[in-house]
Amino acid sequence: MIDVCGAGAVASAGASVREIFEALCAGRGEAAEPRGFDLTKYRARLAFEIDDRPEPGRDVPLRSTRWLEDVVAMAARDAGLGEDLSDVPVLVGTTLRELRSVELSWRDGVPFDTGELHFGTALRRRFDAAQTYTVANACSASLYALALGTDLLAAHAADAVIVAGVDNISESTYGLLDRCYPEAPDALRPFDRNRRGMLQGEGAAAVVLRRGGEGGEGGARVHGRIRSVAVNCDAHHPSAPDAKSISIAIRQAHERAGVGPADIDLLMLHGTGTPLNDEAEARSVGEVFDEVRPSPWMTAIKSMTGHTAGASGLHSLLVALESLRAGVVPPVLGVTDVMDEMAGLRLVRDRAVPADLRVAQVNAFGFGGLNAVAVVERAAP
């Protein structure tokens, strides 16, 4: 097993792992109008932004890079590593990298060095990080990076690894999604029969990993343990996920972790609020956990964070570890008419519930059939 020895996160709901978790458990996290560009061209009026621009309507470049640096510093400090990461591989999962900075440069003439497209440039400058890798493969990117990080440790290619995920909202993807749905979503309602689609979110997350039992420097606490990460790519469709492939990834994660469906206490669903993703995920989860009664507690955080794309897998993983620690499951908001495929499953709605939790499963799925599933365990007292 792999220990999570450091953690950091930022999202619209908070500027640390603890702030985000407490906001989610309290049901706080509201979408608002995006501030970085002119909305008159679009039907959509909502997103989950980090409000760090100097003024409405005036966007600035390199926001993703700044958040990435912040969460890496948080996680490294938490693990007792300091800011010299010259011997620590840093793996970054993302969907868009600094696409918004490119848009600003191309359209508005905002100065931008294309060398900053690679996050390694900033990571070397800030942390002297000599080994940086970027996984740019849609919304499962940070869990794909997590799989690579655990492999590096298992192969004894490193003694510590930092895995991160980051994304912000670009105008081109905002416009693309605005044209995808028959109606602009007024909320993100995972697994609701009347869901309209997803709302974008932004933020970053990072974890420090070490081999089990080696812990953090200077007595840093262990947040939890990674028992397994399973990934697959079925290339079934550009955007429509395949329930069968999702089920395969879930079962592989269970097998590698040495657990069965009945051992999962908490399931962090991907839960995008889109018609096809929610249907495929619900079908696969229903199939895998068909004989488990009662089912694991299930939740999805995107109703309060938006879809944070490349960061979303790690955001869910960190919330899972906090839930295991605290014995509390945050709710899904806005679900009033649960879709048939979720019937009989314990989806936590509207308010947090206390629960005795030891093992959690984290789902993350991306365009092109990129599926990733992690199994994590509560840290020993």
Distance between CA atoms of residues 103 and 115, nearest Å: 15
Provide the pLDDT for residue 235. 86
Q: Which residues pair with 365 in a beta bridge?
A: 371
Determine the residue type at 280: A
Provide the pLDDT for residue 219. 60
Provide the pLDDT for residue 217. 59
Which helix (H) or strand (E) segment holds residue 296: the answer is: none
Domains and CATH numbers, the chain: 2-219 (3.40.47.10), 224-378 (3.40.47.10)
DSSP 33-70: --SSS--TT-S---BB-----SBTTB--S-HHHHHHHH
**Beta-sheet pairing, 132-136 with 90-94:** parallel
Determine the residue type at 193: R
Structure tokens that stand for 65 in this block: 């890079």
Q: One digit per residue, pLDDT tens: the chain, 381 residues?
A: 899 999 999 999 999 999 999 999 999 998 999 998 899 999 999 999 998 988 877 899 999 999 999 999 999 999 999 999 999 999 999 999 999 999 999 999 999 999 999 999 999 999 999 999 999 988 999 999 999 999 999 999 999 999 999 999 999 999 999 998 889 999 999 999 999 999 999 999 999 999 987 665 556 789 999 999 999 998 877 777 899 999 999 999 999 999 999 999 999 999 999 999 999 999 999 999 999 999 999 999 999 999 999 999 999 999 999 999 999 999 999 999 999 999 899 999 999 999 999 999 999 998 888 999 999 999 987
Which helix (H) or strand (E) segment holds residue 91: the answer is: strand 90-94
Tally of CA atoms within 13 A in the half-sphere of 354 that contains its CB: 0
Provide the pLDDT for residue 16. 98
CB atoms within 10 A of CB 304: 27
Q: Long-range pairs for 219-223 at CB < 8 Å and ≥24 separation?
A: 219/80, 220/5, 220/6, 220/78, 220/79, 220/80, 221/5, 221/379, 222/3, 222/4, 222/5, 222/379, 222/380, 223/4, 223/5, 223/6, 223/7, 223/321, 223/325, 223/379
